[in-house]
Chain A
């Protein structure tokens, strides 16, 4: 009993010292700031990234695909940290519905990625790899999927297909490094090029990395509101930012190949 009283008295004595009261107040303020910073805040973020050669995916080609820095913030702390790391980070706040859609896309991300790789291998193959049940075909899909583990999303489908065309036909579309060729767009089963997200950041990434020719999906005709298409957004970005990169909209893989084979 006496011990308990002594302990209480020692605590009271501690609180009588101004430095401990000050420390306690500082600690309370710190905890308050921490709670505020960890308050839920869901926003999709996107910033310019870089370009990677398809060789990184084990493909013997000369072209590049673009990647951007993107993801989802869960709280204000994550937003502040990202803003400190990237100068050009853009945040798009998500409401509950958007969040559900985003999470669904994230869950399905691996499936979409695999689909675009399968379609790219199938579209680019004109010989033995064309049979989707053959060992060679499955091995190639597995190799590319494995080599691309660090990338998420399916927007590199078109460039994988172009790289595979180079590999299968022993071609060099870069004309021995004369052209830096990159692009973005999914590869669909019918060889068409599908729309992607973050076209602004991908175009700026291409420009920043000295890309000469940049392929984008020719998708104006698929949108009721054409301002939502990659094609129209790209036109706006080129005008606004005064980009030097030559942007080529293509509807199918074959359009891109014909364009590249006709380069001077």
Chain B
């Protein structure tokens, strides 16, 4: 079975890696902004360039993430028709405000339960399971912080610096989760193909035998 989320997954990994690098640079520039403003002034053009690239990459990453999560659930249901979350249900769990407080956790914990059942993906399931609480907390804390800073309800250099650090950590955590889910699906996809081939093999043998039997005629 072909894993349909592979192409998007590859792109998502690439953009998350890029986002992680850009976020790390912004942590450094924000550190100078908060604590050594004179130094920051001399590197402000770098900060501006990285900020612009980061915003565009972030928007693309969000779109890729939604497409990827949709395709991942499509793959999961192709692998096992009884998988409880539909692709559209996964998107609803992320996009609907308030419902996503439950939905975001539910998506990944359901995935962990499913991957645990397979010995080849159990290692990845364990890693994802460990990362979920960090991802969940960081996702909502960074979202809240960015909203408060954006609305100028909080304007404190320490909080600003903290928000950039948390953004970078969220990128790292999410990249690790994406890699584990990506690997797990590839393993399961390969196993599915191998299983299908082994089921087809006896049929072919019988056919050859039949042909050989028919030769004397």
> Which residue numbers of A lie inside 8 Å of B, CB to CB?
17-20, 22-23, 26-27, 30-31, 33-34, 37-38, 75, 77-78
Contact = CB atoms under 8 A, between A and B. Distances in A.
B11 A19 contact: yes
B52 interface: yes
A27 B60 CA distance: 10
B210 interface: no
A22 B48 contact: no
Contacts of A19: 7-8, 10-11, 14
Interface residues of B, number: 15
B52 A22 contact: no
Interface in B33-85: 45, 48-49, 52-53, 56-57, 60
B53 A22 contact: no
Contact of B52 (A17, A18, A20, A33): A33
A23 B8 CA distance: 10
SS of A interface (majority): helix
Given A27-B18, A34-B49, A38-B52, 14 more contacts: A19-B7, A19-B10, A19-B11, A20-B10, A23-B14, A23-B15, A26-B60, A30-B56, A33-B52, A33-B56, A38-B49, A75-B48, A77-B48, A78-B48
A197 B10 CA distance: 55
B53 A34 contact: yes
B45 A38 contact: yes
Contacts of B48: 38, 75, 77-78
A37 to B, nearest CB: 5
8 contacts: A17-B7, A17-B10, A19-B10, A20-B10, A33-B56, A75-B48, A77-B48, A77-B52
